[in-house]
Amino acid sequence: MQCSLTGDATDDSISDIFALNSYSWCGAATFEEAQYNDLVTFFDTTSIPVFMSEYGCREIRPRIFNEVAALYSTKMTPYFSGGVVYEYAQEENDYGLVVLNSDGSAELRTDYNNFQTQLNALNFTQLQSTASLVPEVPFPKCSKALITNAKFPSNFTAIPNPPDDGLADLIKNGIKNPKNGKIVSITDLKVKQIVKATDGTVLTGLEVKRLADDKSNIPSGLKASASTSSTSSSSSPSSSGTTTTSAVSSASSSSAATGMTELGGAGFVMSALLSALYLI
């Protein structure tokens, strides 16, 4: 999945990133008990960026998110580009950090506070300024020899045929009468929704902090530099896709290990309840 068609180290691989879902770290586990050491061993020779697209075991409640410190430690940052906690809104599967009520209000859960605490303990200045010390691994050349499963296709250039359900026509002719969106200017940055802390207290003074295009969000519980400082009435999404205080932030975040804009990898899903603003 990370090979190059030409085998040239300067050529692009057929994949850009690899996203991994891992729920092996439960409660106060250790690096070895959660088998994070095995993950590092498995990906220590990868040629493309790897990040955790989902993490946050719920087998032991409330979740304490000890894995955050490990994910952003020197044991993992040479090989993993951060991660995204699952998940923002509470659903039937009981993974949510925030309860979104039918009346438009939101309630923070204990898991939210615990996750915030773990993020605030990170040294983001160090994470964002540390250069990778791991040598780049060249892309292997695509060849049938890489395929060990007989059921896996060995043609690296052919695109599978699309399903016969009108997709070909859609690709060729597009959507008839599409509803085109547009970028709108937001001037009122005060949060109108009712937001409650874990003890039921209504949080007040919530307001989005508008950042310049060349600035990044960090957990507001940290001592930020002048260029990324935050105020008591606003908060910021963390490098793993959720914000960190009892306030609301703008919609992007960054992966500490790669500096990607959330998803940093990637701007991640925002809550319609909060008018496209992150609560976590």
- The per-residue pLDDT for 230 is 33
The model's pLDDT over 172-190, given as tens digits with 9 standing for 90+, comes to 899 989 999 999 988 999 9
- Residue 134 inside a domain? The answer is no
- The per-residue pLDDT for 41 is 96
- Residue 125 inside a domain? The answer is yes
pLDDT < 70 regions, the chain: 9-10, 220-280
- Residue 53 inside a domain? The answer is yes
- Residue 164 inside a domain? The answer is no
- Residue 115 inside a domain? The answer is yes
- Residue 198 inside a domain? The answer is no
- The per-residue pLDDT for 152 is 87
115: how many CB neighbours lie within 10 A of its CB? 25
Q: Which domain holds residue 52?
A: 18-129
Whether the model pTM is above 0.75: no
| Percent share of the chain, pLDDT over 90 | 50
Number of domains in the chain: 1
Give CA–CA dist 168/277, Å, rounded.
Answer: 36
- The per-residue pLDDT for 221 is 60
- Residue 90 inside a domain? The answer is yes
- The per-residue pLDDT for 1 is 84
- Residue 151 inside a domain? The answer is no
